[in-house]
Amino acid sequence: MAWNNLIGLEKEKKIFQKVILEEKLADAYCFLGLEGIGKDAFALELAKTANCYNPIISGETISACDNCKSCQMANNMTHRNIQLVFAQPAADKLTEKQIEEIRDQMAQKIEDPYHRISIANARYISINSIRNIKKKLAFSETSGRQFIIISNGEDMNIEAANAFLKTLEEPRKNTTIIITSSHREKLLQTILSRCQQVYFSSLELNDIQNYLEKKYKKNNNEARLIAAMSQGSITRALDYLDDDMNSLRNFSVDLLRIALRRKNYRMELIEAIEQILGEKDKQLNVLFLNIFAIWLKDVYSVLVLRNTSNVVNIDLLDRTIKFSNGFQEANYLEAFNLIEKTIARLNQNVDPTLAYLSLFIELRKIFTGLTY
């Protein structure tokens, strides 16, 4: 994986390539920004590039060759100079099963650097992890540049953070420490003040869409819908990969179609809701409404902005335009409000069938004015 495989972040790529070329890497950085935009992936790529034996250099750009021994080790996460530190289960000794789980998570991270490492009961980065770093730094005599990447630095518990602070206070030659975090407010001020803070920009919808199409072979429509759901976070987008977004969306648009019928809608609406809810858990129930809201926002942007370039569900464009023409007077903002309220209620564990039913009957009122 070279820079090109990292999505977006063009400004950051430019800056750091220059820094590598001028050999001006700082002792410590904090990479800050939204969750799931690739801060870890960026740190790994930076470390690989700085350690590559045959980097490809042209003007102000430098990129790892992805071929040499060093790059291969970096790509397999076995490089002696590159350490990724993340939360692990609290225990003096890990069980076979836990070690297996960590290996599996690492394998997934290698396969896709945007993968969110998630290990059961791993709540924080403990002082043991920090001690291991110190030990490693004390004995290392390797060539190249050492990189310690603390993923989600806010996961350090207070003991670990204080121990880590000492490491930051004693910078070492040829060593760069990178803390990544999407929760700046949870980092110790003393740690922040000893790092160069770099704010990463968020990703564009198109960038995420392209990535899902290229890497996960999602078709154009589905990739766009998932990208819209992800709110600029690749990691979040990956959470939706296994869901059949198009079906969920078509179901939700159908529910509204049934609810807006002149008469005899109620029985069919209840049946349709039960059929949809029957096979889903709470998370999916919420996801379903989020997808529905995105389609309704398409209707709204066609109607109010007279603009189809922002439309997410391009494959439904005809239907969306038709719908917006049919319901020009409706109070869309109230409809969005209602959907949000229903999502909040679902999160509070209200009965989902009732919540859905009351939402769609309310939407019926908003769109048709019918109160029966």
Q: Could you list the residues that contact Zn ion (CB under 5 A)?
A: 52, 64-65, 68, 71
Residue 74 and residue 62 in contact, taking contact as beta carbons nearer than 8 Å: no
Which residue lies nearer to Zn ion by CB, 53 or 199?
Answer: 53
Give the position of tokens 């970096």: 74
| C-beta contacts of 189-196 below 8 A and 24+ residues apart | 190/165, 191/30, 191/153, 191/161, 191/164, 191/165, 192/30, 194/28, 194/165, 194/168, 194/169, 195/26, 195/28, 195/29, 195/30, 195/168, 196/26, 196/28, 196/29, 196/30
Residues 6+ away with beta carbon under 8 Å from 110: 75, 76, 77
Nearest residue (CB) to Zn ion, 70 versus 209: 70
Of 65 and 361, nearer to Zn ion (C-beta) is 65
Helix (H, G, I), strand (E, B) or coil at 248: helix
Q: Whose Cβ is closer to Zn ion: residue 50's or residue 191's?
A: 50
Beginning with the edge strand found earlier in the chain, give each strand of the sheet holding 82-85 in spatial order: 82-85, 146-150, 175-181, 28-32, 196-199
Nearer Cβ to Zn ion, position 51 or 313?
Answer: 51
Query: By three-state DSSP, how is residue 50 classified?
Result: helix
CA distance 167 to 291: 46
User: Shortest approach of Zn ion to residue 122 CB, angstroms?
Assistant: 32
As measured in angstroms, the least distance from the Cβ of 66 to Zn ion is 6
Please state the closest distance from residue 44 (CB atom) to Zn ion, in A: 14
Q: How far is the CB of 77 from Zn ion (least distance, A)?
A: 15
Nearer residue to Zn ion within complex by CB, 74 or 85? 74
- The residue among 64 and 259 lying less far from Zn ion, judged by its C-beta, is 64
Distance of closest approach, residue 64 Cβ to Zn ion, in angstroms: 5
The CB-of-105 to Zn ion minimum distance in angstroms stands at 25
Of 65 and 94, the one with the shorter C-beta distance to Zn ion is 65
Q: How far is the CB of 14 from Zn ion (least distance, A)?
A: 20
Alpha-carbon gap, residue 117 to 180, rounded angstroms: 13
| Nearest-angstrom CA–CA distance, 79 and 69 | 9
Nearer to Zn ion, 81 or 233 (CB): 81
What ranges make up the beta strands (E) of the chain?
A: 28-32, 56-58, 61-63, 82-85, 146-150, 175-181, 196-199
Number of H helices, E strands in the chain: 16, 7
Residue 312 to residue 278: CA distance in whole angstroms: 27
In the complex, minimum distance from the CB of residue 48 to Zn ion, in angstroms, rounded to a whole number: 7
Min dist. Cβ of residue 339 to Zn ion (A): 50
Q: Least Å distance between CB 253 and Zn ion?
A: 50
Between 68 and 165, name the residue whose CB sits nearer to Zn ion: 68
Closest CA to 77 of 185, 149, 183: 149
Query: Which letter, b or e, does each residue of 114-136 get, where b requires 16 or more Cβ atoms within 10 Å of its Cβ?
Result: bbbbebeebebbbbebbeebeee
Question: How far apart, in whole angstroms, are the C-alpha atoms of residue 141 and residue 50?
Answer: 17
